């Protein structure tokens, strides 16, 4: 991985970390805990469907999902380097982590475009 491209990945890491910090806890809590456990009534399908197909929501979801992937890619890459002492696998790990984030971004873009 060329040094000159590092600030680019770091920028995505930072943007993703900020986005995730603000938005993931509330989305996870409502969708994954409060609604399934019956603490809050599930919104009707119509409402969720209208919400998700709104262009602004699509843009929001795309940004949150994609940047979250890039945030993970960068942080996990360095966790593998430092935590597991895998510095010699530099290129392979970079390709796998950033590659996954790029694939995830493409899937998110395709899904949200066609919904």
Partner 1 sequence: MIEGTANQNPRYTKYHPKWHRAKIPIFWWIHKLPHIRFIARELTSVAVALYACILLFQILAVADGPEAYARFLAWLKTPFSVFLHAVAFLFVLFHSITWFNLAPKALVVSLGNKRVPPVAIVALNYAAWLILSLAISWILLK
Site of interaction with partner 1 (CB under 8 A): 3, 6-7, 10, 13-14, 16-18, 20-33, 35-37, 40, 42-43, 45, 48-49, 51-52, 61, 64-65, 68-69, 71-76, 78-79, 81-85, 87, 90, 104, 107-108, 111-112, 114-115
What's the angle, vertex CA 12, arms to CA 10 and CA 16, rounded to 5? Answer: 120
Smallest distance from partner 1 to CB 99, Å: 13
Whose CA is closest to 27, among 3, 51, 11? Answer: 51
- The pair of structure tokens assigned to 51 is 């919400």
53 φ, ψ (degrees, to nearest 5): -85, -10
Smallest distance from partner 1 to CB 55, Å: 14
């Amino acid at each position: 991985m060329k040094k000159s491209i590092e600030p680019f990945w770091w920028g995505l890491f930072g943007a993703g970390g900020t986005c995730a910090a603000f938005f993931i806890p509330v989305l996870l809590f409502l969708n994954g805990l409060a609604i399934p456990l019956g603490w809050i009534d599930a919104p009707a399908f119509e409402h969720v469907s209208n919400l998700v197909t709104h262009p602004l929501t699509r843009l929001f979801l795309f940004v949150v999902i994609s940047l979250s992937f890039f945030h993970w890619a960068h942080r996990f890459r360095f966790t593998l380097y430092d935590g597991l002492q895998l510095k010699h696998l530099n290129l392979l790990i970079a390709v796998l982590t950033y590659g996954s984030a790029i694939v995830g971004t493409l899937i998110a873009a395709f899904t949200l475009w066609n919904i």
